[in-house]
Amino acid sequence: MNILVVGSGGREHALAWAISASPLCDALYCAPGNGGIATVAECVNISGDDIDGLVAFCGEKAIDFVVIGPEQPLVDGLADRLRAEGIDCFGPSAGAAQLEGSKGFTKDICAKYNIPTAAYGRFADAASAKAYVEEQGAPIVVKADGLAAGKGVIMAESNEQALTAIDESFSGKFGDAGAEVVIEEWLRGEEISFFALCDGDNALPLASAQDHKRVGEGDTGLNTGGMGAYSPAPIMTDALAEQVMDEIIKPTVAAMKAEGMPYQGVFFAGLMITDTGPSLIEYNVRFGDPECQVLMMRLKSDVLPALMACKDGGLAHLDLRWHDAAAMTVVMAADGYPGSYEKGSVIGNLDGAGASDDVKIFHAGTARDGETITAIGGRVLNVTGMGPDVQAARDAAYGAVEKVDWPQGFYRRDIGWRALQK
């Protein structure tokens, strides 16, 4: 089969790497890809937003299956277009991708179908949003409704902060994404992620994985896309996973089907484990990045049939096998990230650092010129280790990180600290 992966991050490198190992894969392309993906796929210079360009490329290369990595093309309707052209793909329709593309949509689904989530209000003007804040009182959470690159959530400790956040959102701070806001109860508890494949009717939970969102050690500082991840996540016990499936994932599958938007793809649920059980914070309609990297390291089964099974009840008879070993990935980012950073520094000794069998270096923001790899993004490398337990995976990952020659980069030294404490 001819396969196209859409995206350019570490997530797409991990997906392309796993797909390239499938006996079903004859030719593998990635649009636009990056310096690392170029070692497992042919990178083609088409952006994920260029839906017409991607569809035309699929025709040209007789692509049989497209794996869509990031959320934006899904929200923009890439999966719908491909399916309309008769091209199979992994990822939800634009309708179903509203689960990530509109926080208000997801909250309304939760309310209608009794899925546990924080109490909320949904507002299209500042005055009624402010009235709700005055009535409920801080602490409270103000969210831009649409995709805001992870910046649209304001945790307000005081009413003043919440009112300012509302003004900012309605005055265009988050562009169109902030033209509507969701205001919700501030949930307390431990936050965890949950992943499950879905074919429209059935959901299949994946191995557990957890990232670290904050830029600083001890989970402090600004939010990022994720500074590292590990799998398994000890907090996700079998009993808790079953509860999440029964109370959150399965009701969402049924809800989306009932709404005429059956969900096909991967659910990435952000959850708060509260005193009264798991509560949904948000859905993402794609794999987590860098969570995907540790999941792909641990997946023993062929990934391609699993992705292809995410349609028409195909998951009913699918079973995935996982390595017992643990995996950890450490993100190396450009100095300054998540603020502004320089591009173009050269990264050395990647072959040396990645030489060991228990290490795999996935690329995120890199470009390749012959053998030279340069940093061109904020999150640049995902140095991933495996071992019999999280501690051993950590040792493998950090052993490799220390060998990477890149003075313009930094990384957190405490990835996995919660898991290691348990």
Given the rule CB under 6 A, which residues bind ligand AMP? 118, 141, 153, 184-187, 191, 270, 281-282
- Closer residue to ligand AMP, CB minimum distance, 53 or 270: 270
Q: Which residues contact 137 (CB under 8 A, 6 or more apart)?
A: 159
* Site for ligand GLY contains 377 (CB under 6 A): no
Beta carbons within 8 Å of 412's beta carbon, 6+ residues apart: 212, 215, 216, 217, 227, 228, 330, 331
CB of 182 to ligand AMP, least distance (A): 9
The answer to whether residue 100 forms part of the interface with ligand GLY (CB under 6 A) is no
Residue 100's binding partner among ligand GLY, ligand AMP, none (Cβ under 5 to 8 angstroms by kind) is none
**Which contacts of 174-178 are long-range, i.e. CB under 8 A and separated by 24 or more positions?**
174/144, 174/146, 174/148, 175/148, 176/146, 177/144, 177/145, 177/146, 177/147, 177/148, 177/152, 178/144, 178/145, 178/146, 178/148, 178/152
Binding-site string for ligand GLY from residue 50 to residue 89, where x marks contact by CB under 6 A and - marks none: ----------------------------------------
Give the position of tokens 């689904």. Answer: 109
Q: How far is the CB of 421 from ligand AMP (least distance, A)?
A: 19
- Cis omega before residue 388 (within 30°)? no
Q: Applying CB under 6 A, does 265 fall inside the site for ligand GLY?
A: no
The secondary structure of residue 299, as a DSSP letter, is: B
CB atoms near residue 243 (< 10 Å):
14
Binds 73, which of ligand AMP, ligand GLY, none (CB < 5 to 8 A, cut-off by type)?
none
Residue (of 189, 185, 190, 191) closest to 139 by Cα position: 185
Q: Between 48 and 200, whose beta carbon lies closer to ligand GLY?
A: 48
- Establish if 210 lies at the interface with ligand GLY (CB under 6 A): no
| Alpha-helix runs per DSSP H in 62-153 | 71-75, 78-84, 98-101, 103-113, 126-136
Query: Of ligand GLY, ligand AMP, none, which one does residue 187 interact with (CB within 5 to 8 Å by kind)?
Result: ligand AMP
Out of ligand GLY, ligand AMP, none, what residue 211 binds, judged by CB under 5 to 8 A for its kind, is ligand GLY
Q: Point out which span in 24-32, 231-239, 284-292, 395-403 binds ligand GLY (CB under 6 A).
A: 284-292
| Closest CB 398 distance from ligand AMP, rounded Å | 25
| Tokens coding 412 | 């957190």
Q: Give the nearest distance from C-beta 167 to ligand GLY in angstroms.
A: 27
Q: Which is nearer to ligand GLY, 314 or 378 (CB)?
A: 378
Closest CB to ligand AMP among residues 28, 75 = 75
Question: Considering CB distances under 5 to 8 angstroms, the limit depending on partner class, which of ligand AMP, ligand GLY, none binds residue 69?
Answer: none
Member of 178, 205, 225, 377 binding ligand GLY (CB under 6 A): 225
Nearer to ligand GLY, 146 or 288 (CB): 288
**Could you say whether residue 226 binds ligand GLY (CB under 6 A)?**
yes
User: To which H or E segment does residue 6 belong?
Assistant: strand 2-7
| Window of 95-103, 125-133, 281-289, 342-350 that interacts with ligand GLY by CB under 6 A | 281-289
User: Between β-strands 27-32 and 42-43, what pairing exists: parallel, antiparallel or unpaired?
Assistant: parallel
CA 146 to mean position of chain CA atoms = 16
Q: Between 22 and 279, name the residue whose CB sits nearer to ligand AMP.
A: 279
Of the residues 289, 304, 364, 398, which one makes contact with ligand GLY according to CB under 6 A: 289
CA torsion sign, 357 to 363 to 366 to 368?
positive
As measured in angstroms, the least distance from the Cβ of 378 to ligand GLY is 13
CB-based contacts of 332, cutoff 8 Å, min separation 6: 379, 380, 381, 382, 383, 401, 404, 406, 409, 410, 411
Decide: is 117 part of the binding site for ligand GLY (CB under 6 A): no
- Crossing angle of helices 291-298/10-20, nearest 10°? 20
Residue 167: which of 177, 181, 155 has the closest Cα?
A: 181
Cα–Cα distances in Å, from 120 out to 109, 278, 284? 12, 17, 19
Stretch that binds ligand GLY, among 88-96, 200-208, 285-293, 401-409 (CB under 6 A): 285-293
Distance, CA of 144 to CA of 152 (rounded, Å)? 5
Give the DSSP H or E segment for 347.
strand 346-347
C-alpha–C-alpha distance, residues 172 and 179, integer Å: 7
Only one of the segments 28-36, 283-291, 359-367, 398-406 lies at the binding site for ligand GLY (rule: CB under 6 A); that segment is 283-291
Q: How far apart are CA 295 and CA 373, in angstroms?
A: 25
- Interface with ligand GLY: number of residues (CB under 6 A): 7
Nearest approach, Cβ of residue 258 and ligand AMP (Å): 24
186 binds, among ligand AMP, ligand GLY, none (CB under 5 to 8 A by kind): ligand AMP
Residue ranges in contact with ligand GLY by CB under 6 A: 211, 225-226, 284, 288-289, 291
